[in-house]
Amino acid sequence: MRTQITAESVENASSQFWEQMLGMSLTRVLKGTVSDSALDRRHVLGSCELTGVWNGRIEVRISMGLALHATAAMLMQSPGQVQPEDMLDAAREIANMIAGTIKSALPRPCAMSVPSAEIADRQVGSPTRAAGLLSVFFRHSEGTFQVSVCEESPLARPEISVAWLIPATAMA
């Protein structure tokens, strides 16, 4: 990644939300200690797009059990009262809060989209650190949580002028 977002900064953003907002503690799973089936095939996916000097996507993936309990905590309800749409609302809020914290460390200008959420039905692999992609996994007694930060090439979005990448003093 051209802008350095570390697993530690993702962990801090996640911990800040889960502990302060929900009173829930998650444990980071270190690379190589999670099997390929760490996150259930069926899970809740929340995401936000970021555009500007930094372009990319922040995704949160939450196992169904953890999504149910996190939603119940957010709504101050019992898990039995939680509806599927409530879990989607919670995933949008979790994505919004974590992406917003990560965004605050990115170069400006950087705008964030309205978060989206869906029930996903696809396998997600183990922790990853590849060019432009950082995935960090967490565990809780109720399930697994993953945050992925995917940076796009600045030239991948044709509507973003290369001039955004050149400091104003260099253009004078």
81-86 contact pairs (CB < 8 A, 24+): 84/119
- pLDDT tens for 103-124 read 999 989 999 999 999 999 876 5
Please give the biggest Cα pair distance in the chain. Answer: 62
pLDDT confidence bin for 126, thresholds 50/70/90:
very low
* CA dist., res. 85 & res. 100, Å (int): 22
pLDDT confidence bin for 155, thresholds 50/70/90:
low
* CA dist., res. 53 & res. 95, Å (int): 20
- pLDDT tens for 24-68 read 999 999 866 655 446 778 999 999 999 999 999 999 999 999 999
CATH entry 3.40.1550.10 includes domain 7-30+37-154: yes
pLDDT at 127 over 60: no
Residue reference for tokens 């051209």: 2
The tokens for 38 are 């760490």
- Residue 47, CB-side half-sphere exposure with 13 Å CA sphere: 14
